[in-house]
Structure 1
């Protein structure tokens, strides 16, 4: 039951983009079309899930025994950077079109604060290994959900007239704000009602 609660929490209640405001750069930059949004979301979900496992292991099996907890952020960034390089090589080899569509935003997953945020949050919340992995995957799914929703909104807005002063990023931020308001309907009482 705890794993279902983690999924609901990180997808809807504590969504990294809409409630934590982490990962806004790819939210605005990659959400121009659905294909790029799905590709970026899958890449971020993979990196978040694997990074959650590896950073938990590094922290609990290396940093704590050696009393090097102060190196947490540095070691987490190194792990995330290595994973992103791995994902970038795979996407470049298997899907050159997606690699081109993601452009500069793919290497920027390294500095995506949402990925580092889930790694740090797993430690501060005291999650075990499986809870950390579940939280990482759920946070990635929530990230992907919001990217895909935003890309669909932006694709529809391209088909309709929008005042010139609102075109592009301004209307994207307004739409994102409205999405954040909609996601505020999900709160802790949702978990209580669903899970008892």
Structure 2
């Protein structure tokens, strides 16, 4: 019995010795700093979590696109990063920089002012549907309720899909939904 106990003790020791002593040693300095920063700021939301392995969420996808810098700035200014980083799922109609440039001069700059934050939030929320709707799921005349309470109308004709007349020019899946790139900014009625 003594030999069996000793063998079990030795085997257990070998198993523990072969494991990494701690997960902390396997982490990079930047990962540890990120964890410390999140832990030290209890108000940090989902967007503060660093995850370099999973598929990117809608905000991360937009942030890597050179064609969506205006949209990303607007989302940050409106305080919607954490909301759109959460699990969702979301269908986001994402206007390009060129779409924002089609607005009357000074519109974007005006909306980025602190006193216009609620207007900016409403416009951005008009671009978001809760749920995942892939490009092939749209029907002509379909009406969707958006996050801001407004409605958009889908158009499908000759293989082209539009939302309130704006062309969907690309669709990009993400970890928490889908992004449909559009060539116009959608404005609530």
TM-score if structure 2 supplies the norm length? 0.31
User: Which has the higher Rg, Structure 1 or Structure 2?
Assistant: 2
More strand by share: 2
Q: Which has more helix, going by share of residues?
A: 1
